[in-house]
Chains A and B, each alone.
Chain A
Amino acid sequence: MLEDIISPCKADFAEGVQTVLRGHENRSRRVVLLKGNLVQNSRNSSSGISARVTKGGRNGFSSIGSYTPEAARSVLAAATENALFLDARAKEPGITFPAQPSGLITPHRDIIDFEQKRFIDACREVDAYIEKTYPNLISRRIIYTEDSQDKIIVTSDAASGHVTYPRCYIYVMLTAESKAGVPVELFRAFGGAGSFEDNFSNLESMYPEIDNLYGKLMDKAEGVYAEAGTKTVILGGMMGGMLAHEAVGHTVEADLVIGGSVAGPNLGKRVASDLVSLVDYAHTAFGEEAPLPVFLDDEGVIARDVTLIENGILKGYMNNRDTAERFGMEACGNARAWEFTDEPLIRMRNTAVLPGTSTLEEMIASIDDGYYLIDSGNGQADLTGEFMFGVTLGYEIKKGKLGRALLDTTVSGIAFEMLKSVDMVSNNITWSSSGFCGKKQPMPVGMAGPEMRCKITIGGR
């Protein structure tokens, strides 16, 4: 854990500029077992100090991989010089960000380090269970991955604080041979925020879920190709979360709105059916701590929730201090940086489509010919809201009942069109938090959704 040696450096902040000084350490641990072979066994840590100095809305930034008061003073000087470099060449006057509420934010969560042996032993134990229980698999991968951020933030005109974000996961990936003799795969991530002990003190608790994953894989090995075209489907909670993040969330990041996203001309307008509401939660959701809680962002803004869509109407954007001023909105703590070398960017935190009132059983029973699309391997979307999600697990729905499993396929659509077709929303949601969002820098994000019945374009043979 970082010790606060940088707060006294506030005395070195330059006059007439806006300054954020950040001490920052990242750690990662990784173990990969491939068919029982240990193919990766690594530990990484990086730490240093960065300074962002803003003059007239133009930012100078500098970082150095050293954590000393001297290092803090050197990045403050370099960042100030860079801000002045841009300011001297600017053709138009810039803006000054309004001051933010001050305060000292220090939520407590220890980053607890364990020896690599614990991770290797855990992976081997899970691997041994799978090898013994399911000898017919043609391959298996067990991956332990852990990352943590530890930040001390000191600002000239906003809040300061000390925040920590540890999380760890075990990925289980299974490969079997399909009836056509080609490999098919499924994976599942276990874990969440916190340390190894918080998540994996009882590995056996994972086994029923691994058994379930194997069962689904056997279904998939007998699977069929989806029929291409526009279909009525139920998007599972994981798919709903992917939609919340990729297809809608990015379009309502204010920097992308400025870049011409479809959300720009749609503020205050209907973009979804009135069953759909979307919120980016800061640290608490539905009365519990969100999967990846954020309390203070890297501009010193105290984190609050942002309502993005309410009953189908687009209500707001996610902002940093700059875009909040430009749009006349409030900054709510979305500006985050991944490593000490990185400047803060507008990022999602825990983005969720809110649950409705239907049950999954009712939803399946309501479909005569369609698909239940449960899990996604990846997804992409762009400024227009056109999205693509890979579907790794799904089933046919025929006459209100689940049918055969699907082989890998893809769904696509335009988010604000597709969301208007949502006519049933389930009464529960599924969170996921193991991934990284990529936007110049990686960033851990949480996402969630309920099951949603809608129309969507599905790829197939």
Chain B
Amino acid sequence: MVDVLERASVLEDMLKAKGVSKYAIDVSEGEMHELNTELSNFTLYRTIFSNSASVVVYIDNKKGSASGNSLLDEDLQQLVDDACSGAESAVADEANDIAPYQEPEVFHTGPYEPDMDRFYDRMEEMLTSIEQEYPKILLMQTIGSYTKSHSVYANSNGTRFESFDGVYNVGLEFAGNDGERTTGINGASVCMHDLDTPILDLSLLRTMLSNTQDSLYVVPMGEKFEGTVIFDPNATGSFVDMLVENFMSSTVIVEGTSLWLDKVGEQVSHESVTLRLQSQDERLVVQSPVTEDGYRAQNVTLIENGVLQSHLLSLYASRKTGRPVTKNSGSCYVLEPGNTPYKELLSGVKRGLLVGWFSGGRPGVNGEFSGVAKSSFYIENGEIKGTVMETMINGNLADVFKNVTGISSELYSDGIMAFPYVRVEGITISGA
């Protein structure tokens, strides 16, 4: 056991002794227990004990940083020396800064001790259920982990946040396989704070297993056409992530290459689209109470009823561009659900695809994307006709969110983010 608070104080003292007047530090101690299975057999039990420390210093508006995994005095001193040396070699930039003083807080999320016997039993129960209920699923690998950490963030403005986190996570890799045919690989994961619910009953796991099993039998789709796509919650998440990265992130705003550079306050998406970044939300398991800049994180609405409310800007990007800082480091997305049940979204599709996930490159800064629709199904006159192979979808990222014609009332969360089904018109679909 390491006294994390004491180590943080030692690190701060070293920085002050070096004459550093502006800094931020993170010190943490953690532990992970991980059960791995291959083809439903337990093959690996991993236990990891880890510490970490990171230091960011600002000397005459020049920034340097260093991090490591030892909390011994000599190694902490080395971090201080490395960060200072890095800063002295850096380029002065008035945009470098840390958040002003925030009220101290201690955060507790999740269980701080694991119950590995019960976790093993829940994993085994899941493996048995999949074998019995989804006979055409080949479960390649599952990874069940419990991770905990005790961490301290502090900076030279007097801010000090302390966190105790514990969370279980289960990830699955699987494919449909009937002995002759195999589908593409599919994956799912879910986070939880307790072991009260059978794992298979969480999030979209049953739907994804069922869809993968149904993906064994391919139907021909015909020539290239412009049609309707329903993105399932996982695919929706991928497109939200690309949307934020391409048009709202610090990099593209500082570069000036975002097509939404001056669109705050303007309609950028269909009016049914409301996208939030939640630091605390009862629909999510994981919480992010502190931003990388040292702010107490706040819930932030990025798009409300289709109107761009904010870019996602770090303190550096904010000061560099004269725009407001976003007090959220950006990972816990919630795309608010709509009013239409998924089945009604489906029944309204004349010709198109239900897309399970998108295998494609990150779009260029202009938003043009093209990639393979994986775990996807051909829809005709409101009915799913069968799975598709070698099918590509092309379009423009900004247009995807403008051309929304329905968002499901169902919302699915893997514990980290939450997304509904989203129906979009005008996607170019070409396949076998």
Q: How far is the CB of A153 from chain B (nearest CB, A)?
A: 18
A260:B257 contact, CB within 8 angstroms = no
Best-buried of A37, A43, A461 by chain B (most CB within 10 Å): A43
- Which positions 367-410 of chain A face chain B at CB distance < 8 Å? 377-378, 380, 382-384, 386, 388-390, 407-410
A116:B45 contact, CB within 8 angstroms = no
Residues of A within 8 A of B65 (CB): 41-43
B361:A343 contact, CB within 8 angstroms = no
Stretch of A5-13, A77-85, A100-108, A160-168 that contacts chain B: A77-85
* Residue in B70, B90, B185 whose beta carbon sits within 8 Å of that of A65 in the complex: B70
Q: How far is the CB of B20 from chain A (nearest CB, A)?
A: 15
B366:A182 contact, CB within 8 angstroms = yes
- Which positions 89-138 of chain A face chain B at CB distance < 8 Å? 89-90, 92, 115-117, 120-121, 124, 138
A229:B430 contact, CB within 8 angstroms = yes
- Provide the bound-state CA to CA distance between A78 and B83, in Å: 35
A316 contacts the other chain (CB 8 A): no
A58 contacts the other chain (CB 8 A): yes
B272 contacts the other chain (CB 8 A): no
B392 contacts the other chain (CB 8 A): yes
* Residue in A46, A139, A261 whose beta carbon sits within 8 Å of that of B255 in the complex: A139
- Provide the bound-state CA to CA distance between A120 and B87, in Å: 10
Known: A45-B68, A383-B185, A410-B360. A229 touches B224 (CB 8 A): yes
- Provide the bound-state CA to CA distance between A310 and B85, in Å: 52
Q: How far is the CB of A266 from chain B (nearest CB, A)?
A: 12
Q: How far is the CB of A130 from chain B (nearest CB, A)?
A: 14
Q: How far is the CB of A37 from chain B (nearest CB, A)?
A: 6
B67 contacts the other chain (CB 8 A): yes
Known: A38-B91, A116-B85, A228-B394. A48 touches B69 (CB 8 A): yes
Residues of A within 8 A of B392 (CB): 228, 410, 412, 457, 459
Best-buried of B65, B67, B370, B374 by chain A (most CB within 10 Å): B370
Q: How far is the CB of B242 from chain A (nearest CB, A)?
A: 12
Q: How far is the CB of A192 from chain B (nearest CB, A)?
A: 24
Per-position 1/0 for B31-52, Cβ under 8 A of A: 0000000110111111111110
Closest to A380 in B: B359
A388:B85 contact, CB within 8 angstroms = no
Closest to A408 in B: B364
In this complex, how many residues of chain A approach chain B with their Cβ under 8 Å: the count is 80
B63:A38 contact, CB within 8 angstroms = yes
Q: How far is the CB of B24 from chain A (nearest CB, A)?
A: 13
- Provide the bound-state CA to CA distance between A66 and B320, in Å: 40
- Provide the bound-state CA to CA distance between A228 and B259, in Å: 26
Known: A37-B254, A41-B86, A412-B390. A260 touches B91 (CB 8 A): no
Q: How far is the CB of A367 from chain B (nearest CB, A)?
A: 22
Known: A42-B65, A43-B86. A259 touches B141 (CB 8 A): yes
Per-position 1/0 for A19-57, Cβ under 8 A of B: 000000000000000111111011111111000000001
Residues of A within 8 A of B85 (CB): 115-117
- Provide the bound-state CA to CA distance between A61 and B36, in Å: 11
Residues of B within 8 A of A380 (CB): 359, 372
For this complex, 13 residue pairs linking A to B, each with C-beta atoms less than 8 Å apart, are A34-B254, A35-B255, A38-B93, A41-B63, A59-B43, A64-B48, A64-B50, A183-B366, A255-B38, A260-B138, A390-B360, A407-B364, A412-B371
| Interchain residue pairs A-B with the least CB separation, the first 7 | A390-B361, A117-B89, A259-B140, A459-B370, A182-B366, A82-B45, A382-B184
| Interface residue ranges, A against B (CB under 8 Å) | 34-39, 41-48, 57-66, 78-79, 82-83, 85-86, 89-90, 92, 115-117, 120-121, 124, 138-139, 175, 178, 182-185, 228-229, 255-256, 258-262, 341, 343, 377-378, 380, 382-384, 386, 388-390, 407-410, 412-414, 440, 457, 459-461
